[in-house]
Structure formats: structure tokens, C-alpha cells
Structure 1
């Protein structure tokens, strides 16, 4: 096979995937291996880093077997991985704990509550770029320090999942600044570890891995790793990035004014800005090209549809059937509103928020109820867009959609009209893998910049333009939704006090 190849590795929560990508950004072959998520008790979630490595070895061998002369033609390896999974290794690079708490592990809730009691967001946001939340590795390290003191004492370095894979490939220890910026421990001004945040959490600065640029060459495949994986010894390995920043890049979201919406169980809206947007309800992640992705999360995105399927149809109807019913109702659902906080809110003062229908009249039927869910989720995301636009120098001008929600045409039309900006759908759904390929293509100087490499690698299969008639209906409804959102907050604590 002519032409250089990138080996892209994505260490996800459910599986490890390895792929060979050609110089035009086409995925030639991809292989996956699932791994177990361990739940020792309610609210905990962890995995074995050793399982990630076994998956990497198996998937690399599989893709190498499927593409002739691949081993010789790989000019760089780039990995991305699930963020916040906190791996401890000793000074020889060996694990000091067999398991690592993951991004969705909630064992740190007490530490977060204690921190919030002592510190208001405005006192630390400039040092951390983020409000306090149980996901951050900073709080996971506090828990490990207090609950597994032997492992914490023996740990020489704290790594994220893709960093552990890079260590196994190269023998080198480092973390990139996208994972570092989402740790609650990195100063967004210096892009180095924050002495202030490390001190506030009572952690050991010496245990934090060196922070490096995602595009730097971390090291080269060692003889031992080459024997295990079948790779060529000496193949360059990039520092790499967190999976979400890699996916932003791989969907073409790498300039201020461009946003991303990932609609899965939850809905994450991200706006690229040249600085973190400091606000108590907004999180920030460093992007590969050096900007920041300010994001807000709606707990019930696609999960609102899952609820409707269970609550209204006892799972007997398919999602496409429910969407078809929703399409029977007019835009605006005849002034029926759905407030979609089925699982509360992730951040802010009202984490005990609840969902509701408002405005039900005798003329409303099931079609209205279903369409109101699609519209309600869109109104809630638009509320987040308004927050981000309000603190950003560059308002969102277009959004790239991915996840399961990007496959529902009616929902995309509703969202484009509610947001009143175009929505693009990438041709390649494996945005993390493409992001790794873009990093490798830039690092090996095939392109002068990440943005140029992204333009060459990313294309779109659809562009959904706002429907002017729908937008005219939705604009005053958005104002009413915001009013309903604010007025409902006064009732949540009263609701919690009612006997069950």
C-alpha cells in the first residue's frame, strides 16, 4: 500500500478502538475490544488500566493484519481517551492500583460538597477554569489520598487513560494540556499546574505528570511494546489528547464561533473560545489547537426520548415511531411546553430540578406531548447557548451535531430553528479517530496547521438551515421557556420537603 498511515487509538469507556487512517483522512480499518466497567458499590465506577492495554494490543494486531505493509507505513501513532480516569503509577511506570476511578465515578461527592462550602466559584474559577464537580481528578486524588494512602504514597505520577497507553508504548510519562485543563488542577493562564489549586486540595504537586502539547512527539515504540503489539520499534508516538477535545477537532470544531452539540443520553453544547468562559454553570476544556471549549451539559437529552418511550408506550414503540407521531403535531405543539430536567441539573444552584409539562389543554394529544419533548430539549440547550454567547466575545455561528440525536431529521430541524443557526452533520461519525489522524498529520508536517488539516480531513453530509416560519414560532416560546425555568426553581426545594 502506497502512502503513509496513522494509527489512531481511542480508549473509550466501553471499549478500546484502534484504526488505520490514510493520508486523506479515510478510515481503512477499525477494530474494537470491549472492557468491563466495575461498580464495587452504588455510585462508584472504575476500570482496570491493564484491560485497556490488553484491548490496545489486540486491536492493533487486528488492524495490522488487515492492511498490507501497514507496519512499515505507519508514520505516527496518536491516542485519545476517556477523560478524568485517574491512574496511579510508581517510578518504574508500574500500576500501584489495579483499578482507576472513572469520569462517572461519584465517590468524591463529599469532597466536592466540603470544597463548595469553603469556596465560592468566583474565588477559584480563574485558577481552575472550572466549577467544582465530582468528575475532576483533583477530587479523585483527595479520595485516594485519604482512602488508599499506601497507593497514594507509592504513586510517582498521576496519568489519564490515554497517558497510560502512551506509557506502555514508549516508557515515557506525560499528560497533555487538554486532560490537564479538565483536572481542576491546571492554571488556564500559564497552562501549567496551579500551585493555588494543588494547595487548596491538599495534594502533592510532585505527583502530577509533566504537561505537554498534544502534538509533541512523546517518544517512540519500545522494543518490548513492539514485540507485544506487532508495531515497528521506533515508530513515533504523539502526546495525544482527551477524547472530547480530539472529537471536537475531528468534527471540524476548532475555531471561535463554531460549536459542537453531542446528543446522547445527555446533551453537551460546546462553544470554542480563545479563553475559558468563567461562569459557575460553565465547564471549560482545553482544545487541541490551543483554544478552549466552554461547555454546558443537559442531563436529559436523548434520555428524555427514552423516558417517553418507557412512560407512554412501555417500550413497545420504536424511537422512529415516536418521532413520526411527533411530526403530526405543529411547530410549537400548540403552546405546550416540556421542561426536560428529568435528572436535575449538573451544576448551579438547582441540581434538584425536575421535569414538567406546562400548558396542557383539552386539545393536546400524544403527538403534541412527543413533539414538546423534542422542542423542550432544544429550548433547554438554547438556554445554554444564550449563557455561552452572553460571556463569549464571538457568538456561535454554526453547530456541528453528533451522537444519536444527530440521526433524527425532525429533531435537527427543530434545533436549527430554535437555535436560529445552521447545524452540520459530519460525514464520518468516528470523530475521535479522525481527530487523532488530524493531530498526526499536523505533527508529521503534512499540514501547516491543525485548522488546515481539519479542513482537509472533515466533510459534512448534511447542513440543516433554520426554517424561518418555525423560528418565528419558537423565538417567543424561548423567552417563555426561560421564564418558566426561572419561576419553577422556587418550587424545587418545597417539592423535596413533601413526604414521599
Structure 2
């Protein structure tokens, strides 16, 4: 008998909900675009989120086939943006609109949080900036001193939806708590948050492993939706949820998402400590670690420079590779991972055809990806065994072939690598399955598998070493 799980993804400009069975097959899906004003990058109304999320869940349930038993719906979980925070009063009502991860007003507070963390935590999170939750909490306290006495709790974006579903606002998970300063080694809120930054202990949530069941669907919602009081599972940040949906959940497995930028996340047995701050590590529900980093190099160069003839150029790439040329399609000044170089500029070969520049750019992104994984292997002492991939850049078969040859590992593209599916996997991981690994293995499906062409890999080795040498000549590494 089939069992079903809701996954809800609350993004920056809209939300998506899916209902999936225990094998990850989607039986219902709806999305909505939020009605936002011009301040949406800084602040948003949580009430709008909840109104629209409740509406799309209602719509999915209204459109369900009669063959699906509502009594077989087991659990729901939520994913949302990392670093977005909301102050609640004693009645669990927002004192202020959600302060978004993309709000840049807390730069100075981020610097103070970073220094305090470096002074007091040996291996904890120190990468605070204006996108960090704790930076925003400190900014709010300093800019709204008259409201401080009314703060009962600080929560994250997904926690608000989980609270509306279950009535429990007091729990969050490892991934949401990281950028609010939670120590994932000691599994506690470090003392400097209270002693140095001035936060009150009662403002800080209880932190539990991702996938923990923290309550039941409220009686009112169960009645309105004609559902049993299903399990409500603590939320998760969107990047980690997408990693879950990609299938990269076991040690040695990694996910590269190529969109506008290139984001790498994976699983290691031990925590990865990066002295340069390029990487930071989430805590895996089963006790492993989930390091990750984001590059400014991605696929934006395609939409900016090659969109008009992209398909035609792509068809010519197979006969052009390996090009033997050096290109780095970094479209804006500065790189953050795998190279920490704010002065960095991209480069491309001169006096060659447009087709060759396009192919060399594909290779250049693959070289950046390999450099990123080399750093991960060096810092962790663990091997990268496989790469799961998502994002628009994963749709090109020839690019997958290039990347697999450069990386010398198999690349797997999953059919539905979305945050909403990742949330549904989290909902199933301990309410139905015995672990996250089991849930992901059952609920993700490989759409494409690309194994390294070793002849092409051998050809790329010298070109990759030349690429690294050029980066050294330019002073970037």
C-alpha cells in the first residue's frame, strides 16, 4: 500500500508544494508566486508565505485522484532560505516582517559576529556576514530597541511554516541553526552569543537533527484538509534540501548544482576545516558532515553571451573537444571558491572561432569544478567517489561528458532534484524509513548516468594542469 509525503519549498519569490509516494513519484504539485513589494530582498511578510502555502496544499488535496487514500498521507516537511530570520512575540506572532537572507543592512553586525566567533570558538562557524541569521538578529536588536522587550523567540523561515502547521515554533534543525551561530561540534549555542553579542538564552531555539519529527498537524488544519494528524518534520535550508533530492547523501557523494553560479555540497565522515573560509560544514542527520561552497563561476555566461545560438554551438562541441585552450568564463570581478581572490578576472582564448570559445568555456567551468573537489579531498583526506548534478547546466549531455572526464568520476543526474522533493524526502526519512540514506535511495531516480571517457580524461589532464599554472601566474592561487 502506498504512503505519501508532502514537501514544501518556500523560496524568495514563491513557493512550491509536492505530494509524493514512498518511491518519490509525484502525485500532486502546485506552485505560487508571492505578491511582493519592492522591499522583498530585504523584508517579506510571513503571513503572505503561510496564506499562499496553505492555498497550494489545499489545491493539491482538492485535485487528488480518488485512488489516493488521504489516510495514507504520513508526514510533511519544509525547506526555505538560509539566514532569513523572524522575531516572534509570546503569542508566536511576528514582531516584524521576515528579515531576508539577501538583506545587506547588517554588514557591520556580521563583522562583529565573525570576530566574536573567531575569539571564542575553535572549530565552529565563523563565516558570518550580512546574509547570516545572527547578524540580522543583532541588527534588529540595535535598530528597534523599543521592541526588544517583546521578543520571545527568534526563528528561521522554514520554522515559521512548521510552526503554523504544528504549533511548535521552538525547534529548528542543524542546517538552519548554522548561520545563527549554533556550534555543530559541541551541539550547543556557544556562550559568546549571550555574553558578547547580548542575545538572551530564551530567544534561541532547541536544535535537533534534520528530519526529526517535532509534532503533529494541528487539529484545525487536519479537519480543514480532511487529513489525519500527520507528522510534522523540522525544516531544512534550501541548498541542503536540493542536495538530498539530488541523491548525494552518503560519504563520498557530492552534488554540483550549476545555475547562475556553481554550488558544491557533499558528505564526508569528518568535519572539513578550511582555514581560508571558502567552505563551511553542515551537520548530517546521521552524524556525518555536509561541507559546501559556492563559486561565482557558473552558467551565467551562456545566457549573457551565447543564448541566441546555444543549441547550434552545443551540437558542434563533440568534434571540438578537447580544445587544448584555456578559458575561465567568470563574468564578474572576484571569486570566492575554490579560489579566494576578490581581484580575479575571467579570461578566454584570443583569435579563435566563437565555437571554440564556447567549447573552451565549458571546459573551464569543469576545471574550476575539479579544483574545488581537489581542495575538498585535500582538506578532508577523503575521496570524492561520485558527483550528482542539478541545475540548468546539468541538462547538457556534452557538458556532462566533459565534466566526468575532467573529474574522472561518474556523474549522475537525478530526475527531480528540487527543494520540494528534498523536503518530502526529509518528511519520509524517519517517519517511514529508518534513515535519510534509505529514504534518498528509494525516493530519488537517476535520469542520466555519465561515466568517464578515459581517453578524453587523459587528454584533459595536461590542459587542466596548464589551467592551474595560469591561475598561479595571475596570482589567484
With normalisation by structure 1, the TM-score equals 0.87
Would the aligned equivalents of 2:2 and 2:21 in 1 still touch at CA under 8 Å?
Answer: yes
Residue 93 of structure 1 is matched in structure 2 by 92
Offset of residue 307 of structure 1 = 2.8
Shift of residue 382, structure 1, vs aligned partner: 1.4
Aligned: 1:54 with 2:41: no
Partner of 1:438: 425
Q: Which runs of 4+ in 1 moved over 6 A?
A: none
User: Using a 3 Å threshold, how does the CA distance of structure 1 residues 231 and 398 change in structure 2: closer, same or farther?
Assistant: same
**Residues 1:285 and 2:282 aligned together:** yes
Q: Deviations over 1:89-111 (max 9, x none)?
A: 111110101x2222233222333
Question: Are 2:204 and 1:205 aligned?
Answer: no
1:464 counterpart (436, 450, 461): 450
Residue from 294, 297, 301 that aligns with 1:297: 294
Aligned to 1:265: 260
Which digits, 9 at most, give the CA deviation of each residue in 1:452-493, with x for residues without a partner? 2221222212111112222122222222222322332479xx
SS at match of 2:416: coil
- Kept in 1: contact 2:81–2:157 (CA 8 A): yes
Aligned equivalents of 1:189 and 1:108: distance in 2? 26
The within-5 A match list for 1:362-377 is: 362=351, 364-377=352-365
Would the aligned equivalents of 2:19 and 2:27 in 1 still touch at CA under 8 Å?
A: yes
Matched, 1:352 2:343: yes
- Tell me what 1:402 maps to: 390
Counterpart of 2:219 in structure 1 is 223
Distance change >3 Å, CA 202–CA 485, structure 1 → 2: farther
Contact kept in structure 2, 1:325 and 1:370, CA below 8 Å: no
Q: Cα gap change, 1:488/1:198 in structure 2, threshold over 3 Å: closer, same or farther?
A: farther
Contact conserved, 2:258 with 2:392, CA < 8 A, in 1? yes
Q: Deviations over 1:305-336 (max 9, x none)?
A: 22323xxxxx5x143234335445331x2323
**TM superposition shift of 1:124:** 6.0
The Cα of 1:260 is off from its aligned counterpart by 0.4
Q: Which runs of 5+ in 2 are unaligned?
A: none
SS in 1 for 2:271: coil
Contact 2:410 2:449 in 1 (8 A): yes
Conserved? CA contact 1:222–1:233, under 8 Å: no
- Taking the aligned partners of 1:126 and 1:318, their CA distance within structure 2 comes to 51
Find the aligned partners of 2:442 and 2:228 in 1 and give their Cα distance.
Answer: 29
Call closer, same or farther: CA 1:36–1:194 in 2, change over 3 Å.
farther
CA shift digits 1:256-292 (9 cap, x unpaired): 1100001111111123113331112112223344322
The residue that corresponds to 1:451 in the other structure is: 437
Within-5 A mapping of 1:320-335: 320-327=311-318, 329-331=320-322, 333-335=323-325
Counterparts of 2:258 and 2:147, CA distance in 1: 37
SS in 1 for 2:17: strand
Deviation digits for residues 58-115 of structure 1, max 9, x if unmatched? 1111011111365433222222222221111111110101x22222332223333455
Equivalent residue, structure 2, for 1:3: 2
Aligned length: 472
Q: Is the 8 A contact 1:220 1:236 kept in 2?
A: yes
**Secondary structure of the corresponding residue to residue 232 of structure 1:** coil
Other-structure match for 1:426: 414
Contact 1:5 1:70 in 2 (8 A): no
Cross-structure match for 2:162: 166
Output the CA distance in 2 between the equivalents of 1:124 and 1:346. Answer: 25
* CA apart distance, 1:181: 4.3
Aligned to 1:337, the other structure's residue is in SS state: coil
SS in 1 for 2:2: coil
Give the direction of change, closer, same or farther, for the CA distance of 1:74–1:418 in structure 2 (3 Å limit).
same
Separation in 1 of the partners of 2:24 and 2:122? 37
Shift of residue 233, structure 1, vs aligned partner:
6.2
C-alpha RMSD of matched pairs (Å): 2.6
Distance 1:411 1:397, change over 3 A: same
CA contact (8 A) 2:5 2:20 kept: yes
- Partners of 2:164 and 2:117 in 1: how far apart? 40
Show the counterpart of 1:183.
179
Gaps of 5+ in 1: 310-314, 492-500
Task: Write the distance in 2 (CA, Å) between the matches of 1:39 and 1:482.
Answer: 43
Q: Structure 1 residues 463-472 or 179-188, which shifts more?
A: 179-188
Paired residue secondary structure (2:427): helix
User: For the Cα contact (< 8 Å) 2:183–2:190, is it kept in 1?
Assistant: yes
Could you say which residue in structure 2 is the equivalent of 1:495? none
CA distance in 1, matches of 2:304, 2:148: 41
Residue 106 of structure 2 is matched in structure 1 by 108
Per the alignment, residue 312 of structure 1 pairs with none
In 2, Cα distance between equivalents of 1:231 and 1:186: 38
Deviations 1:94-142 (A, max 9, x none): 0101x222223322233334556x5796x56644335233321011112
Bigger CA drift: 261-270 or 480-489?
480-489
- Alpha-carbon displacement from aligned partner over 1:404-445 (angstroms, at most 9, x marks no partner): 111011111111111111100112233x3333333333322x
